[in-house]
Amino acid sequence: MDRRKFIQKGALTGSFLGLGGLSIKAMENVLGETAFAKAKNTFNLKYAPHIGMFKEMAGDNPIDQLNFMADQGFIAFEDNEMRNRPIAEQEEMAKTMTSRGMTMGVFVAHKIYWTEPHLASGKQEWRDEFLEDIRNSVTVAQ
């Protein structure tokens, strides 16, 4: 976006807000564009928002949120809970990301023990659990 046009539109919008009671539709008519237009540009870096970050604007559905993120210009996505989602939902999210040109970022691949040492505990059952989680997460990553 052209910086000069952005500043001009920002000043114009600010002056309308000072009038109070002016609807968003009226501002759209003056500015000549919608308040939530699809992204004309994408970010150059792979900023990766999470599910829930835009739920107030896109709703609770993860697919709607992914589409909203893509509309805003995001080209990456990150989901710490991906491995815990139903497989059908994972597949639908992957299909949406592919069709929207988004890349999957990181996700948590194993159970996290916040209050106890896990891998350094020396407990074989915890090591086995960790390795099983990692094996299962390879499928999620694919």
**Which residue range(s) make up the domain with 24?**
1-35
Q: What is the DSSP letter of 84?
A: G
User: Does a structural domain hold residue 26?
Assistant: yes
Characterize the bridge pairing of strands 76-77 and 103-104: parallel
Tokens found for residue 91: 């597949």
- The total number of structural domains in the chain stands at 1
Rg (CA), the chain: 21
> What's the pLDDT tens digit per position in 14-38?
554 555 544 445 544 555 444 444 5
- Quote the pLDDT of residue 47: 87
Residue for token pair 């900023």: 47
| C-beta separation of 69 from 47 below 8 A | no
Q: What are the average pLDDT values for consecutive 10-residue runs of the chain, which has 142 residues?
A: 66 54 49 51 86 92 94 91 89 93 86 83 89 86 78
User: Does a structural domain hold residue 27?
Assistant: yes
